[in-house]
């Protein structure tokens, strides 16, 4: 669970996860949040031995936080890793749906908003537009069939984490979601799209920025070129 300035929501989310998945170990990766989120996570960890907190020096990006978390999961032999936001957008009660999709044989379960049963609550029109356009552009550029490539609520098997070859991922920011889903789809691993309800955060604010959107867009276009015309730069033989 990556956190940056989520002091208003973190405690509630952690409680929700504990209720929904009593046996799950939780890793919070906080990037030195100025609002004291790290201290809130530390307090939660002192009351729950299944919570671990890693503090990083500064805001290093959502993608690098997930890479760090996945490396931790592999190093500690977990069979399943879940990624979710710490702002209340991802409902903890839907965790078992994602986890059981992996337990039933999928290597990636993507919490998907844009399929029957999926829903978005209270998102302004421009966020819907960014999300739909982002997935639409990525689907065409990367020849993907997945319907919510940017979703950040997912479960992955250990095989999926190994397949990703984490040190070679390009994305620092939110493009990480597109990159990882697309690589696993290309590798032919079984993927489940599980409907989720995404609820606009109850407190705090989004860390989405033009720079983050641009990085994702630049990478998606580059990967798309590489698929069609061969290696241009970066990822090379993985395309």
Ligand X SMILES: Nc1nc2c(ncn2[C@@H]2O[C@H](COP(=O)(O)OP(=O)(O)O[C@H]3O[C@H](CO)[C@@H](O)[C@H](O)[C@@H]3O)[C@@H](O)[C@H]2O)c(=O)[nH]1
**Shortest Cβ 75–ligand X spacing (Å):** 18
Helix 10-20 × helix 37-47 angle, to 10°:
30
Question: What residues numbered 14-33 form the site for ligand X, per CB under 6 A?
Answer: 29-31
Question: What residues numbered 133-172 form the site for ligand X, per CB under 6 A?
Answer: 150-152
Q: How far apart are CA 159 and CA 73, in angstroms?
A: 11
Q: How far apart are CA 150 and CA 138, in angstroms?
A: 9
Q: How far apart are CA 98 and CA 77, in angstroms?
A: 19
Question: What residues numbered 41-80 form the site for ligand X, per CB under 6 A?
Answer: 59-62, 65
**Shortest Cβ 198–ligand X spacing (Å):** 7
Helix 210-229 × helix 125-142 angle, to 10°:
20
Question: What residues numbered 104-133 form the site for ligand X, per CB under 6 A?
Answer: 131
**Shortest Cβ 209–ligand X spacing (Å):** 9
Residue with Cβ nearer ligand X (8 or 103): 8
95 counts as binding ligand X under rule CB under 6 A: no
**Shortest Cβ 228–ligand X spacing (Å):** 25
Q: How far apart are CA 143 and CA 17, in angstroms?
A: 34
Q: Which stretch binds ligand X (CB under 6 A): 39-47, 186-194, 199-207, 218-226?
A: 199-207
Taking CB under 6 A as the criterion, the residue among 26, 38, 53, 85 binding ligand X is 85
Residue with Cβ nearer ligand X (174 or 182): 174
**Shortest Cβ 88–ligand X spacing (Å):** 9
SS3 per residue for 186-233: HCCCCEEEEECEEECCCCCCCCCCHHHHHHHHHHHHHHHHHHHHCCCC
**Shortest Cβ 48–ligand X spacing (Å):** 19
Q: Which residues bind ligand X (CB under 6 A)?
A: 2-4, 6, 29-31, 59-62, 65, 85-87, 89, 131, 150-152, 174, 177, 201, 206-208
């Amino acid at each position: 669970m990556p956190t940056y300035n989520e002091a208003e929501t973190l405690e509630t989310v952690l409680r929700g996860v504990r209720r929904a998945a009593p046996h799950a170990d939780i890793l919070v990766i906080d990037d030195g949040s100025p609002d004291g989120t790290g201290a809130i996570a530390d307090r939660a960890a002192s009351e729950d031995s299944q919570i671990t907190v890693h503090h990083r020096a500064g805001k290093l990006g959502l993608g690098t936080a997930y890479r760090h978390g996945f490396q931790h999961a592999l190093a500690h032999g977990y069979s399943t890793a879940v990624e979710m936001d710490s702002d209340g957008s991802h409902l903890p009660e839907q965790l078992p749906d994602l986890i059981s999709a992996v337990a039933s044989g999928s290597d990636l379960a993507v919490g998907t908003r844009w399929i029957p049963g999926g829903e978005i609550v209270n998102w302004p029109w421009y966020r819907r537009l960014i999300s739909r356009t982002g997935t639409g552009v990525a689907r065409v550029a990367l020849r993907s069939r997945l319907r919510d490539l940017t979703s950040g609520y997912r479960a992955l098997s250990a095989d999926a984490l190994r397949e990703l070859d984490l040190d070679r991922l390009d994305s620092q920011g939110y493009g990480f979601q597109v990159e990882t889903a697309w690589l696993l789809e290309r590798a032919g691993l079984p993927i489940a799209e599980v409907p989720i309800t995404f609820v606009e955060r109850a407190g705090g604010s989004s860390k989405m920025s033009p720079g983050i959107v641009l990085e994702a867009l630049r990478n998606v276009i580059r990967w798309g070129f590489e698929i069609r015309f061969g290696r241009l730069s970066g990822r090379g033989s993985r395309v």
